[in-house]
């Protein structure tokens, strides 16, 4: 199959970068000066959007889009399912004399009414008020999505109910970003900064994914419908040799990567690194970090682009966290920092003790937030699909702890004892006015077993799953950081108001925080058994499964912090709680139905065919006067009996039960469906390794993982 996008080696990446984005430069060229200034103020400083501006922007956007071959426009929104949704409309509007005019007014840009009443709302909408509205997110640039059948102007939007409640994850992400910025700026003010540009959070997501040949994919109903294999014996050769990790990228995959990069560049998504990952068939792409809300939109778009381009190359791109049992799963590490373009990342150690004091205050804020709200971070990555990965010994444990690296951990140890005067390993000792050391910019060793690691200029949250939106972890990070910044700023402000010297106030605050929250810092091996025990003795929560984590969302502490910073109302939180439970139950129910169907109609018939062949063989040998060995027949028959029993149990678990609440329904999925599916799989996988290869109807792990 010829790839649809042809690669032109003469084409410079710089020329195509952002070619399909309605960029600031594009706006500047097309808008009157005053209007352009007003839009930029909204984008950059968070100023309120002047409605009068919308018409002018809409007109310019429409002209640009038509020049780019767009026939339709779409409000793109992100419902609570974590997916991307679009409502397309034609630019053309009929006029009286049978003609049509290209129309796109300001009000169409600002607001849409996709109805979309079938998206889960977790009780936020009853049918009489089922409508949802989309609203233009000025901060996220509009873009053109190309399609062989015509291009579409896509406008990133928020999705809210008639009563103004958020039905999506973009709205709370924007709210949380704003709250975090305000309180970070208070701390910076204390450190003497003036006229600070809006502080925002940055997010650099590292996306892992699998590629499989599409022929195999299409022959696996489980991959098609559940995104993961519900059956499949381990291949004789797995990932033990590590020969794939960072190895040469296969040619077809390289072609795919080049095409995805080209498409991402056109959409203004700065894809940077690409390489093979640990498992065979597994790869990674890491776009450069951007403002969290843009990174989040781009991340969703990236997944769409990857899926589309993979198909053109005869492959399927899998974003499931665990498509293949027994093989490494996929994560989406969220690299997180706060700052702005002028000050850079506030999580970078500086050159002077004063700068370092500021850095340590921001680090301490992170330590406090992660310790105090570990449960919220855990729930931000909890899903039926990520459960297959988290806590297994190739992904971070379900216990949320922070890795600081030896040098920074040592500094905080000294702070806990009252002061910090040396920086480990550097041999130098700076005793400044504020007795804080010069810190190394070198992050030290990387610890891959930590769910939350300091990596030199940012923290890397490693628990998010490959298939999830980064919006949810970013909302939690922003909110809990807002809480910490607020607390630290308030403490310092009152100390200073009470006449305490600033340096001394900082010193006391750092000591207090590390004493109270230092338990969350752990530099050891997160995969070890001992850590489970030690974490328990430190009082750190170990929320092993999604159902252990989801109730964290509606605990009083959660409601309090989300309401206080205006991120979620209690009703909005409850709706997320309900939707998360529904999604969990639904995901497992779909898998269970698939396992039943594939087990009964694909695996069992194949096994029975083989059983019949063996039985016939016994009869033929007997009639020829030979003494047949019927042990294989007996063993196969035994496994078939196990499979039949397991299928019957699964069928029963799917039909007879009643649940009073979304939680009960989810619990049933966890305690009844998951084990019943597992029993079916054990029997089916045993049959796969026993019966004749030519009778086995499903593509094997060997084929799916190694043929690319």
Pairing of strands 290-291, 200-213: antiparallel
**Strand bridging mode 459-461 / 332-340:** antiparallel
Of 146 and 290, nearer to ligand ADP (C-beta) is 290
Q: Report the interface residues with Mg ion, using CB under 5 A.
A: 206
Phi, psi for 686 (deg, rounded to 5): -65, -40
Residue 206 vs 483, nearer CB to Mg ion: 206
Residues 6+ apart with CB under 8 A from 220: 229, 698, 699, 704
The residue ranges of DSSP E strands in 137-264, in sequence order, are 143-145, 151-161, 200-213
Identify which of residues 362 and 584 has a Cβ nearer to ligand ADP in the complex.
362
* Region 326-355 residues binding ligand ADP, contact defined as CB under 6 A: 335-337, 345
Query: Least Å distance between CB 229 and Mg ion?
Result: 26
Comparison of 202 and 522: residue with beta carbon closer to ligand ADP: 202
**508 touches, from ligand ADP, Mg ion, none (C-beta below 5 to 8 Å by class):** none
Closest CA to 552 of 400, 659, 332, 392: 400
Q: Give dist(CA 690, CA 700) in Å, integer.
A: 13
Name 630's bridge partners.
none
Structure tokens at 653: 């678990």
Shortest Å, Cβ 445 to ligand ADP: 12
Pick one of Mg ion, ligand ADP, none as the site partner of residue 595 (Cβ within 5 to 8 A by kind).
none
Binding range to ligand ADP, per CB under 6 A, among 12-20, 52-60, 283-291, 614-622: 283-291
Does 22 bind ligand ADP (CB under 6 A)? Our answer is no
Task: Report how far residue 168's alpha carbon sits from residue 172's, in angstroms, rounded to the nearest whole number.
Answer: 8
Residue 319 in the binding site for ligand ADP (CB under 6 A): no
Chosen from ligand ADP, Mg ion, none, partner binding at 288 (C-beta under 5 to 8 Å by type): ligand ADP
Query: Judged by CB under 6 A, which of 189, 273, 515, 612 binds ligand ADP?
Result: 273
289 binds ligand ADP (CB under 6 A): yes
Q: Are residues 523 and 406 in contact, defined by beta-carbon separation less than 8 angstroms?
A: yes
| Residue 313: contacted member of ligand ADP, Mg ion, none (CB under 5 to 8 Å, by partner type) | none
CA distances from 645 to 260, 653, 674 (A): 46, 12, 16
State which of residues 286, 402, 521, 543 lies at the interface with ligand ADP (CB under 6 A).
286
Question: Are the CB atoms for 670 and 581 separated by under 8 Å?
Answer: no
Smallest distance, ligand ADP to C-beta of residue 204, A: 3
Among 169, 202, 231, 531, binds ligand ADP (CB under 6 A): 202
Q: Which of residues 560-619 bind ligand ADP (CB under 6 A)?
A: none
The residue among 158 and 369 lying less far from ligand ADP, judged by its C-beta, is 369
What's the 3-state SS for 363-401? Answer: HHHHHHHHHHCHHHHHHCCCCCCHHHCCCCCCCCCCECC
Give the side-chain half-sphere CA count within 13 A for 631. 1
Give the shortest CB-276-to-Mg ion separation in angstroms: 12
Work out which of 34, 92, 105, 288 binds ligand ADP, going by CB under 6 A.
Answer: 288
Residue 25 exposed, middle or buried by CB count within 10 Å (0-12, 13-18, 19+): exposed
Structure tokens at 468: 């999830």
CA 190 – CA 455 distance, rounded (Å):
26
Q: Which residue is nearest to ligand ADP (CB)?
A: 204
- Any contact of residue 204 with ligand ADP (CB under 6 A)? yes
Q: Which residue number places its CB atom closest to Mg ion?
A: 206
- Least distance from ligand ADP to the Cβ atom of residue 264, Å: 13
Question: Which range binds ligand ADP by CB under 6 A, 285-293, 497-505, 554-562, 642-650?
Answer: 285-293
**Which residue stretch of 79-87, 282-290, 369-377, 554-562 sits at the interface with ligand ADP (rule: CB under 6 A)?**
282-290
Which of Mg ion, ligand ADP, none is residue 204 near (CB under 5 to 8 Å by kind)? ligand ADP
Helices (H) and strands (E) in the chain, counts: 24, 18
Sequence-separated (6 or more) residues with CB below 8 Å from residue 537: none
Look up residue 670 and give its two tokens: 């966890």
Pairing of strands 85-90, 92-94: unpaired
Q: Which is nearer to ligand ADP, 287 or 323 (CB)?
A: 287
- Nearer to ligand ADP by Cβ, of 234 and 446: the residue is 446
- Pairwise CA distance, residues 200 & 180, whole Å: 7
Residue 273 · residue 284 · CB < 8 Å:
yes
Q: Closer to ligand ADP at the Cβ: 106 or 329?
A: 329
Nearer Cβ to Mg ion (120/451): 451
3-state DSSP of 96-133 = CCCCEEECCCHHHHHEEEEECCCCCCCCCCCHHHCCEE
Of the candidate spans 201-209, 243-251, 253-261, 397-405, the one that interacts with ligand ADP by CB under 6 A turns out to be 201-209
Taking Cα atoms as reference points, which of 135, 205, 212, 128 lies closest to residue 168?
135
The count of residues interacting with ligand ADP (CB under 6 A) is: 14
Binding region for ligand ADP (CB under 6 A) out of 286-294, 385-393, 478-486, 492-500: 286-294
E-state strands within 427-554: 452-454, 459-461
Stretch that binds ligand ADP, among 281-289, 624-632, 656-664, 699-707 (CB under 6 A): 281-289
Q: Which residue has the tokens 């373009």?
A: 341
What track of x and - describes contact with ligand ADP for positions 205 through 224 (by CB under 6 A)?
-x------------------
The site partner of 82 among Mg ion, ligand ADP, none (C-beta below 5 to 8 Å per kind) is none
Tokens of 267: 């959409």
Q: Give 94's strand partners.
A: 100
To ligand ADP, the closest distance from the beta carbon of 539 in angstroms equals 30
- Per-residue string for binding with ligand ADP, 453-472, x by CB under 6 A? ----xx--------------
Which one, 351 or 629, has the nearer CB to ligand ADP? 351
Taking CB under 6 A as the rule, does residue 302 contact ligand ADP?
no
Q: What share of the chain is helix, strand, coil (3-state, %, to 5)?
A: 50, 15, 35
Cβ nearer to ligand ADP, comparing 286 with 476: 286
Q: How far is the CB of 504 from ligand ADP (least distance, A)?
A: 30
Do 402 and 418 contact (CB within 8 A), yes or no?
no
Cα 59 versus chain centre, distance: 35
Per CB under 6 A, the segment of 164-172, 287-295, 550-558, 571-579 that binds ligand ADP is 287-295
Q: Which is nearer to ligand ADP, 336 or 577 (CB)?
A: 336
Per partner kind, with CB cut-offs from 5 to 8 A, the member of ligand ADP, Mg ion, none near residue 289 is ligand ADP
Separation CA 163–CA 158 (nearest Å): 14
Q: Are 265 and 13 in contact (CB under 8 A)?
A: yes
73 forms beta bridges with: 89, 153
Query: Considering the complex, what minimum distance in angstroms separates the CB of residue 23 from ligand ADP?
Result: 20
Instruction: State the binding partner of 324 from ligand ADP, Mg ion, none, CB within 5 to 8 A by kind.
Output: none
Element (H, E) at 358: helix 353-372
Q: Could you give the CA distance from residue 472 to residue 614 in angstroms, rounded to a whole number?
A: 54
Query: Which residues bind to ligand ADP, rule: CB under 6 A?
Result: 202, 204, 206, 273, 286-289, 335-337, 345, 457-458
């Amino acid at each position: 199959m010829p790839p649809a996008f042809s690669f032109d080696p003469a084409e410079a990446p710089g020329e195509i970068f952002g070619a399909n984005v309605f960029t600031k430069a594009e706006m500047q060229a097309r808008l009157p000066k005053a209007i352009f200034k007003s839009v930029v103020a909204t984008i950059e400083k968070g100023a309120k959007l002047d409605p009068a501006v919308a018409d002018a922007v809409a007109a310019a956007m429409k002209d640009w889009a038509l020049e780019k071959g767009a026939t339709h426009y779409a409000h793109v929104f992100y419902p609570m399912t974590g997916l991307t949704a679009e409502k397309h409309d034609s630019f053309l509007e009929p006029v009286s004399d049978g003609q049509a005019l290209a129309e796109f007014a300001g009000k169409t840009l600002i607001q849409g009414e996709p109805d979309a009443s079938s998206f889960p709302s977790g009780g936020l909408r009853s049918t009489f008020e089922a409508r949802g509205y989309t609203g233009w997110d000025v901060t996220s640039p509009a873009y053109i999505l190309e399609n062989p059948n015509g291009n579409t102007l896509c406008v990133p939007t928020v999705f809210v109910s008639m009563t103004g409640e958020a039905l999506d994850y973009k709205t709370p992400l924007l709210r949380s970003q704003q709250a975090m910025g305000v309180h970070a700026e208070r701390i910076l003010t204390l450190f003497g900064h003036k006229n600070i540009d809006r502080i925002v959070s940055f997010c650099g997501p590292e996306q892992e994914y699998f590629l499989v040949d599409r022929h195999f994919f299409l022959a696996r109903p489980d991959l098609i419908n559940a995104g993961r294999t519900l059956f499949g014996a381990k291949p004789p050769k797995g990932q033990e040799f590590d020969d794939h990790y960072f190895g040469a990228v296969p040619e077809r995959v390289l072609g795919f990567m080049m095409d995805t990069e080209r498409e991402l560049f056109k959409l203004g998504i700065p894809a940077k690194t690409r390489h093979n990952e640990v498992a065979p068939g597994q790869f990674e792409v890491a776009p450069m970090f951007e403002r969290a809300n843009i990174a989040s939109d781009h991340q969703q778009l990236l997944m769409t682009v990857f899926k589309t381009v993979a198909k053109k190359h005869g492959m399927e791109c899998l974003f499931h966290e665990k498509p293949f049992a027994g093989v490494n799963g996929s994560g989406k590490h969220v690299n997180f920092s706060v700052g702005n373009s002028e000050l850079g990342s506030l999580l970078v150690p500086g050159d002077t003790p004063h700068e370092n004091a500021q850095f340590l205050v921001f680090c301490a804020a992170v330590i406090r937030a992660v310790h105090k709200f570990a449960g919220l971070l855990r729930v931000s990555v909890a899903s039926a699909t990520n459960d297959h990965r988290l806590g297994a010994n190739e992904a971070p444990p379900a216990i949320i702890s922070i890795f600081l690296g030896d040098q920074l951990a040592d500094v905080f140890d000294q702070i806990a004892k009252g002061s910090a005067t040396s920086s480990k390993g550097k041999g130098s000792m700076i005793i400044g006015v504020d007795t804080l050391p010069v810190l190394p910019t070198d992050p030290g060793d990387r610890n891959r077993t930590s769910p939350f690691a300091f990596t030199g200029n940012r923290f890397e949250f490693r628990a998010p799953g490959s298939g999830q939106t980064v919006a949810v972890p970013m909302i939690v990070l922003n909110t809990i950081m807002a809480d910490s910044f607020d607390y630290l700023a308030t403490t310092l402000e009152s100390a200073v108001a009470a006449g305490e010297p600033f340096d001394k106030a900082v010193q006391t605050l750092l000591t207090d925080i590390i004493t109270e929250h230092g338990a969350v810092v752990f530099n050891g091996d997160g995969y070890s058994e001992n850590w489970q025990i030690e974490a328990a003795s430190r009082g750190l929560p170990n929320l092993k499964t999604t159902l252990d984590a989801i109730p964290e969302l509606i605990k009083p502490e959660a409601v309090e912090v989300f309401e206080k910073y205006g991120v979620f109302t209690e009703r909005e939180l409850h709706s997320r709680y309900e939707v998360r439970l529904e999604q969990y139950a639904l995901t497992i129910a779909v898998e269970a139905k698939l396992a039943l169907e594939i087990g009964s109609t694909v695996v069992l018939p194949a096994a029975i065919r083989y059983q019949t062949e063996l039985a016939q063989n016994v009869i033929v040998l007997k009639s020829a006067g030979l003494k047949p060995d019927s042990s294989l027949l007996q063993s196969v028959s035994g496994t078939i009996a196990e499979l039949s029993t397991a299928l019957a149990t699964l069928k029963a678990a799917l039909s007879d039960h009643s649940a009073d609440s979304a939680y009960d329904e989810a619990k049933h999925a966890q305690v009844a469906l998951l084990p019943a599916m597992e029993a079916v799989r054990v029997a089916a996988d045993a049959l796969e390794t026993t019966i004749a290869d030519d009778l086995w109807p499903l593509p094997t792990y060997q084929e799916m993982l190694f043929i690319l």
